[in-house]
C-alpha cells in the first residue's frame, strides 16, 4: 500500500513545470524546476511519473558510466622475476580511497596511500631476493623518496618474501615507510576521450585482486547538478513526529512540554529520546545518562540489581542514591537512579522495579525531578519512533543523513531534501517549504 501524507487540493498545469531528464545516463530520474511544497511535488510526480525519487540503498542511485581503470602494481626498480608477485596487504587493503592511492606504505603489512603523503622510506642495495636495506629517517613524498634512493642506493626496496619484510621491520622499527610498490592511475574513457576531469567521492574503492575496475555515477546528484541546481530539492522521504510517554499515558497533562529554545533539533536525524536538566533536549537513545523512575515498591536491603538488555549490565545502587515511593503521573513521587544507562536499559530497569520512566505532566513534576537529581542530566519517559517512510511505500533500509540540526518545532510531519553541495546527504525541512524536486519513472526493457 502506498502511504500518502497529504491530499492537496491544488491543481497544477504542466505548463508551470520545466522538466528535464537530467542525466542522459539514466532517463528514469527527472528534475522538475518549479518550487513547490512537498505535498504538491508528490502529487505532480504521481500524476506524471511514478513518485518522488526513492533511494533504498547505496547502489540504487548509481549507474555505469564510460570510465574504467586498469590495475597494474609494479616495483619501482622494474623487477618482475621470482617473488615479484609477493603481497602482504592488510585485510581491508588496497582500498583506493577517493580514487587517489597509487603508492604503498608498510608497517609490517601493506596499505595503499596517496603518493603525495609524506613518510619515511627504505632503500636497498644488492639483489631483490636478499637485499641490504637502509632506513631513511626523513619524511618525503613517494616520488621524492624514489629519487633519493635511486641517487644514493639502487631504488626503493622491493619486497619479494617474508625475509625482506623482517629486514624492513628491524631497520624501520615498525614505523610507516614507503616501499617500491606503486601503480599508474590508468584512467580511460570507453570512447577514447582524454581523461582530463574527475569528480571522485571520498569513499573506499576496494580493489581486492581485480585487474580492471569500472566507474559508477550517482544519477540523482548528476540529475540535479546537470540542471544547474545547487540548493536543496525534495525527495520522496518523510517522517511523522509522534512524541509518546513510555508508560503510554495520554490523559490530562500528557501534552505538557518544556523544550529548551531550539529544541528538539533532531541532530543527524538520530535523536528520538528526551533528556532533562530542568528543560528538555532530544538526544540519541544510545547515549548513557542517569535516569528517573516513578511509582514503585520501596526497596529494602537490596544493593545489587542485575539488568539484561542485549548484554549483561551490573549496576551498583546505594540505598542513599535513590528515593523510592508511590504515586501517579499527575502527582508522582520520583526516584533518581545514579547509574549511567542508555534510554532502553533505563526504561527496562524502571519497568522491572517500579512502573516506568517518569512522565512529566506539569511544572510540579519538573520541580520534584530537579529536587532529586540536583542538576544531573537525566532520561525521562518521553520518546518517539523514527517513523521514516518513502512516498512510494518502499521499505526504509538505507540513509545518508547530513550532520546538521533538523528543527522540529511543533511540526507533525517533516520532509527530506538532498543537495549536490552536500554530496547528496539528506536533511529534513518543513513540508510547506517551496523547492524544486526530483521524480522517477520505471524503465522498461
- The number of angstroms, rounded, from the C-alpha of 229 to the middle of its chain's C-alpha atoms is 24
- Determine how many CB atoms are found less than 10 A away from the CB of residue 170: 11
Q: How confident is the model at residue 218 (pLDDT cuts 50, 70, 90)?
A: low
Distance CA(167)–CA(131), nearest Å, equals 9
Predicted confidence (pLDDT) per residue in 175-186, tens digit: 999 999 999 999
Average pLDDT over residues 38-65: 77
Q: Are strands 177-182 and 103-107 parallel, antiparallel or unpaired?
A: antiparallel
pLDDT at 441: 85
From 108, 402, 426, select the one nearest 236 (Cα to Cα).
Answer: 426
Cβ atoms of residues 387 and 242 within 8 Å: yes
Could you give the angle at the alpha carbon of 286 between the alpha carbons of 280 and 291, nearest 5°?
50
Residue 125, pLDDT above cutoff 70: yes
From 345, 282, 334, select the one nearest 310 (Cα to Cα).
Answer: 345
Q: Are strands 378-383 and 289-294 parallel, antiparallel or unpaired?
A: parallel
Phi, psi of 393 (to 5 degrees): 85, 0
pLDDT at 13: 27
Distance CA(201)–CA(73), nearest Å, equals 23
pLDDT at 15: 26
What domains does the chain contain, in order, with CATH numbers? Answer: 1-61+219-241+389-403+413-445 (3.10.100.10), 72-210 (no CATH), 244-383 (no CATH)
Predicted confidence (pLDDT) per residue in 323-332, tens digit: 333 457 788 8
- The number of angstroms, rounded, from the C-alpha of 440 to the middle of its chain's C-alpha atoms is 25
pLDDT at 443: 61
Cβ atoms of residues 425 and 419 within 8 Å: yes
Average pLDDT over residues 122-132: 95
Lowest-pLDDT range of 25-34, 55-64, 190-199, 219-228? 55-64
Q: What is the pTM of this model?
A: 0.59
Average pLDDT over residues 144-170: 97
Q: How confident is the model at residue 333 (pLDDT cuts 50, 70, 90)?
A: confident
Average pLDDT, the chain: 82
Residue 242, pLDDT above cutoff 70: yes
Amino acid at each position: 500500500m502506498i502511504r500518502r501524507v497529504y491530499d492537496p487540493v491544488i491543481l497544477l498545469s504542466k505548463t508551470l513545470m520545466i522538466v528535464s531528464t537530467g542525466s542522459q545516463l539514466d532517463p528514469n530520474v527527472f528534475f522538475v524546476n518549479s518550487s513547490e511544497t512537498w505535498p504538491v511535488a508528490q502529487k505532480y510526480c504521481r500524476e506524471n511519473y511514478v513518485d518522488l525519487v526513492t533511494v533504498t540503498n547505496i547502489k540504487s542511485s548509481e549507474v555505469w558510466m564510460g570510465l574504467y581503470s586498469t590495475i597494474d602494481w609494479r616495483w619501482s626498480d622494474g623487477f618482475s622475476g621470482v617473488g615479484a608477485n609477493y603481497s602482504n596487504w592488510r585485510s581491508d587493503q588496497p582500498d583506493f580511497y577517493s580514487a587517489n592511492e597509487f603508492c604503498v606504505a608498510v608497517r609490517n603489512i601493506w596499505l595503499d596511500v596517496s603518493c603525495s603523503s609524506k613518510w619515511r622510506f627504505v632503500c636497498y642495495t644488492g639483489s631483490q631476493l636478499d637485499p641490504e636495506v637502509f632506513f631513511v629517517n626523513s619524511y618525503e613524498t613517494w616520488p621524492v623518496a624514489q629519487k633519493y634512493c635511486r641517487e644514493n642506493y639502487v631504488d626503493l626496496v622491493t619486497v619479494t618474501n617474508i625475509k625482506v619484510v623482517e629486514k624492513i621491520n628491524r631497520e624501520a622499527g615498525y614505523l610507516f615507510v614507503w616501499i617500491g610498490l606503486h601503480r599508474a592511475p590508468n584512467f580511460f574513457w570507453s570512447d577514447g576521450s582524454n581523461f582530463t576531469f574527475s569528480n571522485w567521492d571520498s569513499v573506499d574503492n576496494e580493489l581486492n585482486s581485480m585487474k580492471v575496475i569500472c566507474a559508477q555515477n550517482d544519477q540523482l546528484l548528476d540529475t540535479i547538478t546537470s540542471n544547474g541546481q545547487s540548493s536543496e530539492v525534495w525527495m520522496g522521504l518523510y517522517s511523522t513526529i509522534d512524541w509518546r510517554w513510555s508508560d503510554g499515558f495520554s490523559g490530562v497533562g500528557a501534552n505538557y512540554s518544556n523544550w529548551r529554545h531550539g529544541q528538539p533539533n533532531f541532530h543527524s536525524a538520530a535523536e528520538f529520546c528526551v533528556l532533562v536538566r530542568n528543560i528538555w533536549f532530544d538526544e540519541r537513545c544510545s547515549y548513557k545518562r542517569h535516569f528517573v523512575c516513578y511509582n514503585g515498591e520501596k526497596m529494602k536491603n537490596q544493593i545489587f540489581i542485575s539488568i539484561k538488555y542485549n548484554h549483561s549490565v551490573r549496576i551498583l545502587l546505594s540505598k542513599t542514591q535513590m528515593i523510592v515511593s508511590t504515586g501517579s503521573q499527575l502527582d508522582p513521587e520520583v526516584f533518581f537512579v545514579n547509574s549511567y544507562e542508555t534510554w532502553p536499559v533505563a526504561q527496562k530497569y524502571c519497568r522491572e522495579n517500579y512502573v516506568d520512566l517518569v512522565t512529566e505532566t506539569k511544572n510540579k513534576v519538573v520541580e520534584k525531578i530537579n529536587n532529586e537529581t540536583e542538576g544531573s542530566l537525566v532520561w525521562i519517559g518521553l520518546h518517539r519512533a523514527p517513523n521514516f517512510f518513502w512516498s512510494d511505500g518502499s521499505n526504509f533500509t538505507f540513509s545518508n543523513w547530513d550532520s546538521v540540526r533538523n528543527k522540529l518545532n511543533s511540526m507533525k510531519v517533516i520532509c527530506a531534501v538532498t543537495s549536490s553541495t552536500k554530496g547528496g546527504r539528506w536533511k529534513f525541512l518543513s513540508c510547506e517549504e517551496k523547492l524544486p524536486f526530483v521524480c522517477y519513472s520505471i524503465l522498461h526493457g
